[in-house]
Amino acid sequence: MTHLSVNINKIATLRNSRGGNVPNLLKVARDLQGFGAQGITIHPRPDQRHIKYDDALALPEVLTTEFNIEGNPIPKFIDLVNRIKPDQVTLVPDGENAITSNAGWDTIQHRDFLIEVISEFKAHGIRTSIFVDPDEKMVEGAKATGTDRIELYTEAYAKFFPKNPKKAIAPYLKAAKLANTLEIGINAGHDLNLKNTAFFAKNIPQLLEVSIGHALVSESLYLGFENVIPMYLQRLS
């Protein structure tokens, strides 16, 4: 079964919009695990506009499942991750002013940098994953960095899924098959939702984990976390 890691950035965004501590991020993380989530993901950005560094430091107190921290490996981020030592760190090449992640790494151009960063995280016993587009060259480049996993950037899949699911998933299937051959673990995320997740999970071989935040939180406004988490788990089974 593919594991579900819930990205709680949007909970922090809602809290920060009013100040104070409502909704309580730690309670939401605890409850999501109680409802069946198999991991919690956060993506702190330099301006801390949603997840704050203090949140990242406090979350291990309530986590009983996998903790995945995403972000651009700037020095401050590297120091934070090494201090916390989460189960997994996912490297994302987002700019400081990016609204959301919008591209995977060029693992060929940034090979030496990624090798250095991944080596440091591995020295601290942290599993590593690189955010990549569904491009076989980028998967091959990821293998050369020594990363444990890749996370396939699924925005294009989600965009074209309503029109032609088979065509939408084709490049992801090629990338996944190559990753399997190269013995790199496969994660996926970005714009996956209740409508398109089952088809993706069914067709991508050895998909280990999906990270879902924006859609899951939006769907939960109508259906509630307690109902939505089992719905995703059913689609991933």
Active-site positions?
43, 70, 190
Q: Which of 105, 164, 108, 171 lies closest to 134, judged by CA?
A: 171
Q: How far, in Å, CA of 141 to CA of 135, rounded?
A: 10
Could you give the 3-state DSSP secondary structure of residue 149?
strand
Q: How far, in Å, CA of 194 to CA of 134, rounded?
A: 21
DSSP 148: S
Measured in residues, the chain has a length of 237
Q: Within 13 Å of residue 18, how many CA atoms lie on the same side as its CB?
A: 9
Quick one: CA dihedral 237, 40, 184, 175, positive or negative? positive
Residue type, 44: P
Interaxial angle between packed helices 214-223 and 225-236, expressed in degrees from 0 to 180 and rounded to the nearest 10 = 130
